[in-house]
Structure formats: C-alpha cells, structure tokens
Structure 1
C-alpha cells in the first residue's frame, strides 16, 4: 500500500515525526482541529527496532546483511558491533554502511564487507532507515487515518566532513546558525547542508520531506506553551529538552536562539545543569571549556546576546525532565503534551513559513 493511500486526504495536513534515540514521536496535524484531538503516537525509535532485529540475527548465529539508508546510531550501531564481536559476518550496501561510520575505510576496518547487489547466500537482511512510513500507514489505515502529503522530520545530525570530528561538524553547523541570526523557523528545509548526512538520508528516502535538527524542533515546541512564549518574547528564556540520550539547552529571545549547549543525558545532574545555565546566561560557556570541563558535546553563543534580556525564565521538557524537577523550572507542555514538543515545533515552523509565504 502506498503510504498516502488510506483514508481521507485533505490539504494542509502534516505528518510530523521527531526521531529520537528511545522513541519516535509522531503527530498528524489537521487544520482546524483542536491540538488535543490530533492523532499522536509515541513509538519505539527505529534505532531500537533495528537493534532488536540485528540482535535476533546474532542469536540465530546467521550472517547479517544491511540495506536501506544511513540512520541514527545508538542501539542499531551497538547491535551491529556486537554481531561482529560474536565472530559473525556483516555485509552492507554503501548507503547502509554509513550508519556505522561515514568513512568507508573505517567501516571495512571493522570487518564489514561493503557491497552492492544481492546479499550473500544465507545472510539475514535488516533494512536500515530512520523512518518506516509504510509500517506507520498500515497501522493507521484500520482507523481511517490517511498519511498526509506533507512530511516534516526532526533528527539529530552530527554531520560528516573528512578529517573532522562529528561533534566539530555539528557545532560548526549550529554556531553558523547563531552567527546568521539564529532564526529557529529557518532551520526547517527540504535541502539540508551537504555535510548533514543524516538529514540528507531522510530527504532522499522521502522526497519533499522537510527536515530540522531535533534540538531546534524541541525548542520551537516548548515555545508553543504560552507561559514560555511570553517569557521568551519579553526578557528571553533558557529552554531545555532532557531527551532519552541527549539534553539540549538554548538561550532564546523571541524565536531566535542566541546560545546553546548539548550533553549526553547520562552526564547531567541538577547541579551540573544549574552551573551550565548560569554560565550560559553569563556568556562564559565556551565550546572549548564545555568540552574540557563537562565532557559535553559542545556549546555555541552569540556574543551580542547580553543586550536582549536577562533570560530569567528556565523551561524544561523531555522524558528525563525529572532530573531537574527540584530546580523550580517551568515544566513546559505544548498543547498539553510534553512528549510531542518536537512534532509541535515542526508544525509551528512549517505553518509559520507558509503564512509568511516563504519557500524552502
């Protein structure tokens, strides 16, 4: 079945998917429908699904073949490496192999046979990719819910540039956004920067899809909470998304991001975040210091942010927001649903761009 065949199709509908390490959070936006009555799903992420599929092949003692496209790592990459560690063969198409590493020499160095064409005899094939729209369509069809024509997807993309570290590429990208004015809505695009390989894989698999960084989508979603939006529009606010694998924080004035940091959620505590927020507000959180002192992914800042406000309000969302519950932060719930911050942010960016009459 074509993923857009089932049910009624109406203009203006949006399929918004926030692809995380633990879950994929899905929203079907319907024009004129109250947000509380929209179709919403929180499902296991594709990397977890693929990880389980690969682990099943390992338990069976069979050779593994990977096809599909580049996708997020985590559980999927861990399972592939465990298969290799068990002494079992792994082959992959060139596109799928980039899930393991963007550098093909690194992939073959691990013992993966990169090949085009049919899988080796006896191998079990696992298809990689951040999205499985046919499966989603099949799940929704019995309820008469059609897949929208417009698709918007958020992924965390470390990017790739030969000779550069993944975090270096990612934070050069984010610093470049801040340097260009920090307009959050402008981060949604059907043509991602060439070095953002994961976003490019999504647009390649779903032609016409709009893609955005997960951190930016979450921040835009938090701004859908009226309390947070008012604070950001006046004195600025610090917005934090404590996700299953990563915690992303942004210094926001209006809909403009002027500073940010990102860390593994496993590496944060209430005390660490308190210090990071204070240093972000003070403008003393440099990328170099953040990596050296906190072993974080990185930080980016617009030095001119001080003239914009005091950024007194701190709002938090995400499945691990409980880590910060004792700090008195606003627990943001865009349209009453904390887990849908990313999809609501995607929809907000797309609708604002449509209202402004701008193309991608």
Structure 2
C-alpha cells in the first residue's frame, strides 16, 4: 500500500484552521492533527504589524474569509494609511467593488511599486506542508477543505442569498452524501478560490462538514435513525440542523456572538416544531432558517453539540459530540468522510 495515500482535511473557520493528516491504513487516533490560527487571523495580525510601522499595503491573492482581516483593513484606513487591493482580493471585503472603494480602498489592476503586499488566501498548502515536514510527515495525495461561503451577492444581503442556496439543497432532498459529491457552484466564489489554488480538492461548507463530523460520534447512529438535532457552535457562527439518516430536513444559522443560552434554546425549540421563521432569525441579525418539503415527524429532541464555543451556549456536557475523541477536529472528520465517499468508499467511518 502506498503510504502517501490519504487525505489532508483543513477546516477553516473564523478563529482557527483545524487540520487532520490521515494516511490509509493508519488508526484515526494516530493521525497528525493541528489547531492553528485561521488564515483571516493571520492576515489580521500581519496588517496590525504593518500599521504599527505606518506602512501602506496592497491586498493581493484570492478571495478569502473576512471578519478579522476586514476589520483590520478598516483600522488601517482610519489610521490614515493607504490600502490598495487587486480585484479578486478586494472581493474579500465585499462582493460589490464600488462599496469596497467607498470604504476608502483603492481597487487597482496592478500592485503599486514599493507598497507592502499582503497575500490573501484561505488554503496555504506550502505553509501546512512546511509545518508537517518539520516532523517528517508528507502531505497526502487527497485534500478536503471546508470554508463558509455566502455566495457572490453584490447587490443583495449575502445572508439571504446563502439561505436560498440552503433552501434549494433541502428541496433536493438534503442528502449529505450527494452534497459531498457535488462540485461547488460557480457563485460560491470563496470555494472557487480554494479550487483555484488546489484544483483536485474536495470543498465543503464548514457547517456541513461539522454536521457530518458530529454524525460520526457513536451516539449519533441510533438517534439519527429516528431523527435528531446537530448543533455546531463555532467561533463566528452557530449552525443547527434537523437530521434523519444522513439527510438534512431543516437548517438554522446565527452569529454566535449574538446568541445566549436562553435565546438559542427558544430558537431550537421552535425550530424543531417548524415554527421558527427565516424572517425572525434574519431580523434578529442571524442568517436564517429553512425547511425541506418533508414533514417534521418526530421530536428531534436527541441533540449533539460540537464547536469550540459550545460551553457558552450549552451546559449539559452529555450532549457534546466528540468523534474519535476529538471535538475540535469534528469538521475535519466530516471532510474525511466526504472525501472517502467521493473516492467510492460507501461506508460510514467508525
């Protein structure tokens, strides 16, 4: 067996990028694992350092996840420094380049001479490979990546745009295995940017990767046959799904920082009953919720919770999912399952 056969799974969030390096034939528990600062955090740190030196910057590279790095761009401008951006990198700030320019960023086709370049991209295989090589670990031949992509929506709320995508997914059956085998649509520009850097990668949404990974927890098997709720409390976003037999029947998303235990508990109670509306969640500052065509028969009370901020919103630790004993790698295990499905391995990891 070729020892290079395997999967590098990279789950890219707001706070961290979680990395699993698994080789065929190895025990999952012995796989190489890393929890590192996310790409947007690293770019934000670089911008802060350059601001302290009073240096103008030009953003180059790909469209990537925003959040922390976008806030640092705003602070750079507020400090009276110049920020330039090449068009593709500028889409990190907003899908409407006119709005990017209205922020004070100069969108340009070529990087100005003498201006410090800040490289934007979500997937940095060179950096990951260098870290692995320090311990004699090669990169596997397979790559699976998760990012949250709102979709290209220059004139409309990207939250609404994203939930139209989820609505379509649910009305196509909500099949997690089928979704894992689909290439990302062209309007998912952040996913397409990952594919531009790594054309052979499998790319999934972070929420779907987390849901799929949580279902690999042994406690999920019996519960999911009859229906249950999976919740991922991420650093930036909280996603919940009503699941039966690896099919998503309904999906909910909000910003973690805007939730508290009481609000989330009430949202989930009404979500399970099919009573929570897209408009209510959206007007509360969240992304929304969507339901598939199948009636929500069952209580969906059995709940599995994962994500780095789960303790902020849940107290009952018996709910916490930890596939293969490692909660922080839940999304990576979901990516690995998806990658194995894509390679024709039809079984569920155990």
Q: TM-score range by the shorter chain?
A: over 0.9
Please give the secondary structure, in 2, of the residue aligned with 1:226.
coil
Match of 1:318 in 2: 307
Please give the secondary structure, in 1, of the residue aligned with 2:113.
coil
Where do 1:208-357 residues align within 5 Å? 208-233=200-225, 235-292=226-283, 294-307=284-297, 309-327=298-316, 330-355=319-344
CA distance in structure 1 between the aligned counterparts of 2:180 and 2:105, rounded to whole angstroms: 34
Q: Give the TM-score taking structure 1 as reference length.
A: 0.92
- Shift in Å, 1:274: 1.2
CA distance in structure 2 between the aligned counterparts of 1:306 and 1:120, rounded to whole angstroms: 57
Q: 5+ residue gaps in structure 2? A: none
Match of 1:197 among 189, 193, 202: 189
CA contact (8 A) 1:313 1:329 kept: no
Establish whether residue 158 from structure 1 lines up as the match of residue 150 from structure 2: yes
Q: Give the TM-score taking structure 2 as reference length.
A: 0.94
Match of 1:143 in 2: 135
Please give the secondary structure, in 1, of the residue aligned with 2:52.
helix
Q: 5+ residue gaps in structure 1? A: 1-7
* Of 215-224 and 204-213, the range deviating more from structure 2: 204-213
- Shift in Å, 1:272: 1.3
Runs of 4+ in 1 over 4 A off after TM superposition: none
* Of 320-329 and 89-98, the range deviating more from structure 2: 320-329
Please give the secondary structure, in 2, of the residue aligned with 1:160.
coil
- Shift in Å, 1:121: 3.2
- Shift in Å, 1:329: 5.4
Match of 2:74 in 1: 81
Match of 2:163 in 1: 171
CA distance in structure 1 between the aligned counterparts of 2:254 and 2:285, rounded to whole angstroms: 8
CA distance in structure 1 between the aligned counterparts of 2:134 and 2:242, rounded to whole angstroms: 43
Match of 1:53 among 46, 50, 53: 46
Please give the secondary structure, in 1, of the residue aligned with 2:343.
helix
CA RMSD of aligned residues (A): 1.7
Match of 2:179 in 1: 187
Match of 1:21 in 2: 14
CA distance in structure 1 between the aligned counterparts of 2:51 and 2:182, rounded to whole angstroms: 37
CA distance in structure 2 between the aligned counterparts of 1:177 and 1:319, rounded to whole angstroms: 26
* Of 313-322 and 186-195, the range deviating more from structure 2: 186-195
Aligned residues: 346
CA contact (8 A) 1:62 1:122 kept: no
